[in-house]
Structure 1
């Protein structure tokens, strides 16, 4: 019998993101992304992407993030790029699609099909995104880490 000395992290459930104004944050991110708002008040809002969420919390006061960031996987990164440009949001350059939101939070946008991160078939189906297919490279990366193929039985 193996004695466990620490818990295993299963994933990231949510990110709490400080913003200056909840309604403005919902409007800003709502121009870029489809999501479901499950709760909203003057001080907080919860937006869901399937089984994960971002908690907008009123109160951002620190300087803009330089390196600290979080990533959002999307079905169409170029559509996000085009929308950000149309909105006049400055892109930060480099090999990723990074930008600062109006409160200085650094956000990285990546394409779901090109990365190792995976959602179950059931979650993708619930999001009406079950047509998305991982690239051969991302499937190979999953396999390299012993995560095998995606479970289609859910």
Structure 2
């Protein structure tokens, strides 16, 4: 469906608050993701950890199902993470033992088969509000192409 009419009463999708990943070992997952990405731990529960991303978070949930996935598990879907340095993320993912997925994107599998695509903030339409960037001690910029994409939607950065 294209743009719904103004009289549409359905709730609009406006963002992602968090993504939850099933992992087989919470401590190992924290070590794996910590080897690739800098983050602050927002909180923990017995079998969960929450990686802070400013106004969003990544939840890691230890589950028996994730622990039982075969080593050659390859999911059909993925989720994308936005970083300030994609090439450094690739180097660190390789060093952490991530299973890299061939192709034009930077995709890898974590040890439990979660497929992660990594994109660089400067290159994509995703935008962090100035106050969120300030709270995260960031000063990020967009490429001309990303700014044009945003401007075409009436969202000048």
TM above 0.5? yes
The 1-side partners of 2:113 and 2:151 are apart by 36
| Contact map agreement 2:25 2:62 (CA 8 A) in 1 | yes
Q: Which residue of 2 aligns with 1:114?
A: 123
Structure 2, unmatched stretches of 5+, are: 1-5
Q: How does 1:130-141 map to 2 (within 5 A)?
A: 130=139, 132-141=140-149
Other-structure match for 1:144: 152
- The CA deviation at 1:62 is 4.7
Alpha-carbon separation, structure 1, partners of 2:99 and 2:13: 35
Per-residue deviation, residues 29-48 of structure 1 (Å, max 9, x unmatched): 01111111121133111111
TM-score by length of 2: 0.87
In structure 2, the partner of 1:96 is 105
The answer to whether the 8 A contact 1:22-1:42 is kept is no
SS in 1 for 2:76: coil
| Structural RMSD (CA) | 1.5
- Give the distance between the partners of 2:96 and 2:59, measured in 1 at CA: 23
Q: Does 1:83 align with 2:92?
A: yes
**CA contact 1:37–1:48 (8 Å) conserved in 2:** yes
Q: Which residue of 1 aligns with 2:17?
A: 13
Tell me how far 1:115 sits from its aligned partner.
0.2
Unaligned stretches of 5+ residues in structure 1: none
Aligned length: 147
Question: For residue 3 of structure 2, what is the aligned residue in structure 1?
Answer: none
